[in-house]
Chain A
Amino acid sequence: MSAAEQHIPGVFTGMMAVARRDLLLAWKRPGDVLNPLFFFAMVATLFPLSVGPSIEQLELSGPGVLWVAALLAMLLSLNSLFLTDHEDGSLEQMLVSPLPLSALALGKTIAHWLTSGLPLVLVSPLLAMTFRMPVAVTGVLMLTLLLGTVSLSLLGSIGAALTVGLQRSTALLSLLILPLAMPVLIFGARTVSLAAAGEGVAGGLYFLAAYAVLTLSLAPFAAAAALRISNE
């Protein structure tokens, strides 16, 4: 018994091991990372095509359009967060693991953010350029996306945990997550709009940071509870 106990790794080690495994899996299947990025670019392309190429209109709608596109791209990648692990049984191993499930869920969420949130942040300047966004405003856009996608990944992990193993869960996941994601969208897009209008952005950034901290403190526990319920 005591020999077995010695093999239990620390909480942080376990969390990082889960994250590293998911990153490795993403590296082996680059399509999973790239497809949401292409989707992001395509949704952002749809808007100028539908509302017309007028420069004033693009400058005005740019922050909102890019934020909506980023939100949808995040949703697209959420569905598979726990799905493959559920299908091949490794999720059950995490459930019976002596490590806290919330830490393992957080590890998976960290990997999800690194493979879906962070790439969106890095690609956003390219799209912002096509919307004639000035460099300073683009910086604010990247900052809001950086903070906002953290919250979206964490909120999404709750939704993904609740819907894992359900049939036709994609639409349901969107229905669950979108109302909860509304504050992130509002503050993200409005803060960029304020920056474009030359007004102060500190308030919006503080809110996004505070919301990221709130979700970081609570979401892993909710996701762990949801995973246990989904797999009982």
Chain B
Amino acid sequence: MWNLLHRLASPPHFYRLAAGMIPWFAVSGLLAVAYGAYAGLFIAPPDYQQGDAFRIIYVHVPSAYLSMMAYVIMATGAGIGLIWRMKLAHAVAAAAAPLGAWFTFLALVTGSIWGRPMWGTWWEWGDPRLTSELVMLFLYFGYIALRGAIDDTAKADRASAVLALVGAVNVPIIHFSVEWWSSLHQGPTLIRKGGPAIDSAMLYPLLAMILGFTLLFGALLLRRVRTEVLYRERRTKWVREMILSTPGNNL
């Protein structure tokens, strides 16, 4: 078991393995998104209350879910890297951060676009989820900025890992305090989740979109980790040999 894990975590092995996995993730992800987008936009009936505006959930919900998921992956990678000094785990954490920031941004933008017809405003401070998602984006920015400020990769890995772990302890507290804060806000009557349970014609496309987004996220993450590994190992023998044996290189 440990042997297998160790072999998996060795950069050249991972580099080859990921190359084989990326097409599977990408193709299946694209298929799921294509089905989800078609079924969600054309087949699913309009919502009895929100009309066609509800259809933005097919982008919004997967993005919001991945913005959290990416943070979990980042913090887990950071923790493993810090405790067991596994270089690949640090590479995963570093690669997950910009993706997480983009999905957080996407969730904020789609939420804001949805809020315009629903709440009559682009931004509603009274909604706890919007606000805590914004704080999430700031946490990603802090992580990325700290990495950017340290030139030495190994040092950047370890310093940003401490930050990611401190952030991971804080994320539930931030979420809770934002909820507490907005529950006291005499806000407008928000349209909350509830009413009739979601119809299966609406639900299946959503599940397909969540699955598809996750698979595409996996493909992007693997690709980023591969690049990260290649850059970190640029002075090693296996990278040199691989590049020299690539047909058509100019070296």
A178 to B, closest residue via Cβ: B138
Alpha-carbon gap, A169 to B145, bound state (A): 10
Say whether A180 faces chain B, with CB atoms less than 8 Å apart.
Answer: yes
> Are A229 and B174 touching (Cβ within 8 A)?
no
Give min CB distance, A231 to chain B, whole Å: 10
Within 8 A of A (CB), among B143-195: 145-146, 149-150, 155, 158-159, 162-163, 165-167, 169-170, 173-174, 176-178, 180-181, 184
Q: Which residues of A contact B142 (CB under 8 A)?
A: 175-176, 179
Q: Is B139 an interface residue (CB 8 A)?
A: yes
- Kindly provide the distance from the CB of A182 to the nearest chain B CB, expressed in whole angstroms: 5
Complex CA gap A67/B31 in Å reads 51
Least Cβ–Cβ distance between B149 and chain A, in angstroms: 5
**Interface residues of B toward A: which range?**
20 to 34
Q: What separation, in Å, do the CA atoms of A85 and B177 have in the docked complex?
A: 35
| Contacting residues of chain A (187-202) with chain B, CB-CB under 8 angstroms | 187, 190, 194
* Cβ contact within 8 Å between A172 and B167: no
A144 lies within 8 A of chain B by Cβ: no
Given A163-B149, A166-B150, A169-B149, is A229 in contact with B166 using a C-beta cutoff of 8 Å?
no
Contact B184 A186 (CB under 8 A): no
Q: Is B34 an interface residue (CB 8 A)?
A: no
- Bound form: Cα–Cα A168–B149 in Å: 9
| Interface membership of B38, Cβ < 8 A | no
A180 lies within 8 A of B167 (CB)? yes
A162 near B159 with CB under 8 A, answer yes
Count of A-B contacts with CB under 8 A? 73
CB <8 Å contact, B170 and A180: yes
Partner of A183, one of B150, B155, B166, B177: B177
Neighbouring A residues of B139 by C-beta, 8 Å:
179-180
Name the B residues within 8 Å of A176 (CB-CB). Answer: 142, 145-146, 163
Instruction: Give every chain A residue within 8 A of B141 (Cβ-Cβ).
Output: 175
Question: Contact between A180 and B166 (Cβ–Cβ < 8 Å)?
Answer: yes
Docked complex Cα distance between A182 and B128 (Å) = 13
B166 touches A172 (CB 8 A): no
Judge if B135 is at the interface, Cβ distance under 8 Å. yes
- A44 in the interface (beta carbon within 8 A): no
Q: Is the interface of B mostly helix, strand, loop or mixed?
A: helix
Q: Check A222/B165 contact, CB under 8 A, given A183-B173, A190-B181.
A: yes
Contact yes or no, A230 B159, CB < 8 A:
yes
Cα–Cα distance between A187 and B183 once the two chains are bound (Å): 13
| Cβ A218 vs Cβ B174 within 8 A | no
Which one, A167, A186, A225, A226, contacts B181 given CB within 8 A?
A186
- Is the beta-carbon distance between A186 and B180 smaller than 8 angstroms? yes
Contact partners of A39 in chain B: CB under 8 A? none
Interface residues in A96-139 (C-beta closer than 8 Å to B): none
Q: Which residues of B contact A190 (CB under 8 A)?
A: 180-181, 184
CA A230 to CA B165, docked complex, whole Å: 16
Establish whether residues B135 and A186, one from each chain, have CB atoms under 8 Å apart when the complex forms: no
Chain B CB within 8 A of A211 CB = yes
For the complex, what is the distance from the CA of A79 to the CA of B170, rounded to whole Å? Answer: 22
Per the bound structure, the CA–CA distance linking A209 and B44 in Å amounts to 50
Q: Which of B196-239 contact A (CB under 8 A)?
A: none
Query: Contact flags (1/0) for A140-170 with B, using CB distance below 8 Å?
Result: 0000000000000000001000110011110
A178 neighbours in B (Cβ, 8 Å): 138
Q: Are B155 and A229 in contact (CB under 8 A)?
A: yes
In the assembled complex, which residues on chain B have CB atoms less than 8 Å from the CB atom of A230? 155, 159
Given known contacts A158-B166, A182-B174, A183-B170, A175 and B159 CB-to-CB distance under 8 angstroms:
no
Query: Are the C-beta atoms of A162 and B135 separated by less than 8 Å?
Result: no
- Which chain B residues lie closer than 8 Å to A168 at the CB level? 149
Tell me whether A158 and B170 are in contact in the complex, defined as CB-CB below 8 angstroms, given that A179-B139, A183-B177, A186-B180 are known contacts.
no
How far does the alpha carbon of A222 sit from the alpha carbon of B164 in the complex, in Å? 11
For the complex with contacts A162-B159, A166-B149, A179-B139, 4 further pairs of A-B residues with Cβ separation under 8 Å are: A162-B146, A169-B149, A172-B145, A183-B174
Binding site for A on B (CB under 8 A): 135, 138-139, 141-142, 145-146, 149-150, 155, 158-159, 162-163, 165-167, 169-170, 173-174, 176-178, 180-181, 184
Task: Give the 4 A-B CB pairs with smallest separation, nearest first.
Answer: A183-B177, A179-B138, A229-B158, A176-B142
Sample of 8 A–B contacts (CB below 8 Å): A158-B166, A179-B170, A180-B167, A182-B174, A183-B173, A186-B178, A187-B177, A194-B184
